[in-house]
Structure 1
Amino acid sequence: MRKTFEANLLDPNYLEEILGSFHNATGLHIEAINNEGATFSVLGELERSDFCRYIRCQPEGEKKCQDSYKRASLEAAKWEEPYFFRCHAGLVIWAVPITIQGVSRGSIICGQVLMWEPDHFFFQELKKLNVGIKNFEELKSKACKLEVVSPARSQAAADMLFVVVNHIVKRNINSLAEIDATRLQQQQIRREIEERKRKNLPDISDYDTYLKKERKFLRYIRLGDRTRANQTLQSLLTDLYTKTVGDLETVKVRILELATLTSRAAVEGGANAERIMMHLKEFNKEIEGIERVEKFFYKIQHIVETFLEGIFTLADKKHLAIVKNARDFIMEHYALPLTVADVAEHLFVSTSHLSRLFREELDCTINDYLTRVRVEQAVEMMKKPEFSVAQVSKAVGFQNQSYFSKVFRKYIGVTPLIYKNSLY
């Protein structure tokens, strides 16, 4: 039994799956209602008890039940916890509020039970509550078939249901945030495409251009440059969207490839390899069933941000700021004859403290990071034919060309001259 509910607020299939499991575990009847007390789902497509069905088929029965549910739902929302009540017909029921981002969306109704075995006094009260019932003996017979649930068990079930509902709401909020982020991603791509048209910029016609931009993006990842990495990623995704004309399979292949390359770049940038590989494995599972290009783009942006966070896994924000500022300073002044003392003096910290932070948090020394930046910059410069190896060496901060060749070969695998000659 289902009625219309705001589909963008709660996933009805997930709601039935989880609360259906709760019913199977407890044997208790569950209904989901809106703020007006109207039932939009009886979980597991289970029928109400004979007693409740009999009450509801009486004149005004449905309305009275709905009014009871409505009042209970309002009380549950007000107190933000399970609310126990007796319905107009005399049964014990509890309402668990559904509150999304501070707004009440209804309740989960559970129970329709008795807390004690029916006796003479119960039947007297039952008759007073249901004066309009002509055949009271039939109602009495149906009441005797109701489940008796102790107060302790009822409270435990209500507490458990409260936890389950909160889990569903939290999952829903995360889903809404993902929908908003995906929508924002679409808008960003459209804006960038329009901006390119306005500036008469050509669309990429080959993957060479795309791959060059991809290499630049990976360089920013290795250097922990979050701002430039995110900017370049957005441009990459726009290129991919226009190049593939939204072809889902091609996009999936490129996104999987990009995620793998980014994970390795993050490890090279100082992130923990085990954690990065775990995140990558989860990412690969998440994108299996995706059927929209924008969702792929949202997922890759999210995993890239996770990888970047992995490079800065500092618990102390003050330490995070010191390491980040040190890296920014090196990025801006790598061409100068920098020393550890220069960087520490700029940040007003001791050289020993700064060096310890780099080792503990980035698993490298300050000089290691400085060298990495210089080599990455050298790789970019050598793509320009007007610069000789000697000029590149000096421009990125190496005073000795022989030492530059040795360091370059250690990081890239070949000498600067061989690398440069391979480009043309």
Structure 2
Amino acid sequence: MAAQKNEEFGVIRDCVDSFHRVTGLGALVCAPEGNVLFETGRHCRACTLCANLDQPEDVCVVARAQAWREAERFGGKYIYACPMGLTCIATPVQTELDVIADITVGPFLMVDEEDFVTCELESRTQDEEKLRAARESLQSIPRVAPEQAEPIARQLFLSVGGTGKSFRIGDLLARQGASSLMGSLSDFTEREKQEENPASAYPILIERDFLEAIAAYDRARAEELLNELLGHIFFLTGGDFSRIRARILELLVLSSRAAIEAGADETQILALCEECVGQMGSIYDVDKLCYWLIGALKRFFGCLFDRVSGAEQNPMPRVLAYLRRNSARRITLEEAAEQAHLSPSYFSRMFRARTGKTFSDYLTRLRVEHAKRLLKQPELDMAQIAAQTGFYDQSHFTRAFKNVTGYTPGVFRRRRERGFDELKE
């Protein structure tokens, strides 16, 4: 293990030295605990500007540590202003979930020197001797054009941050995806807080729609509903990590069952589910949970939706997705059979064997599920909803809806308005 670490650090040192020779920027490489591993060029600790203006060194140490943490959270690179107002770049050298080193490149100057002196230095001291010494120190600081900072940061991460043995481009994408997911969850929470009647109960109906989207192999719809479910989970649990993890595990089990019932490979899905349960047991904070969740969902959806194409592919996923997309219009058995490239009679038997429902019953349930979502919109009357969900008229809509749910559409809408989410079917 020690030999492997030494080899990795040797590679990191070579990459950092090469980066310095190409860009002219100094770099400081530290262990995750903060102790310096090695340094090159005119790096952060070699900057004398702080000493000239009596800035304590520990302030810079704290700023570097905070920047490293932000770089880990936001996709592997972070451009920030040091306590003196100069610019630095932080990046971690990371494996899948571990950081083996942290790098700070800089400082460098991105603004006009006189503007920097006026806005930064003179605001800190009026002592002429200190300002003179600070100006002299500033002469040794590299200059970087503002438009070059982002490309330099990206190159730093790709050439140096990715030298860990277990690094993969997928890790970068997962971390960026986790950052995006956390942002979406935060936005959802803020929106709910501002609502006059924020969500107060777990959305069973949305969960059912999500599981049905999985059964219909509708990936876009499944991902959309999953994001909404995660928003509710994070909001309703109040950030309680143990409850968040329990809800996600429950959702994982339900999703696996729906996928298997829809024809996904049972062995593959169960193995993935078992692996995910084991991994979640070692995660104890929301940041890492979001990072893990992005990777797990990508693998789960890939296992479920990235099916083999051609004659060997089960035609049902394609047919079910087609029905969901077109349920608002008249669809005949013959039209659906054409999607499967089968005769209507054979398709009818296969459809019932695979779904447990006749073609007409399944299509009616799809339309009822669509109608449930439209009933949340008070501006739509029953005739409009009937027209938008593929029913012949309002009378046909009412009969079909009651047969499926046990309620007329009007009663269903009123009960939802009073907060009854869990309606029997």
Choose 1 or 2 for highest CA Rg. 1
Normalising by structure 1, we get a TM-score of 0.46
Normalising by structure 2, we get a TM-score of 0.45
Select the structure with the greater relative contact order (CA < 8 A; seq sep ≥ 6): 2
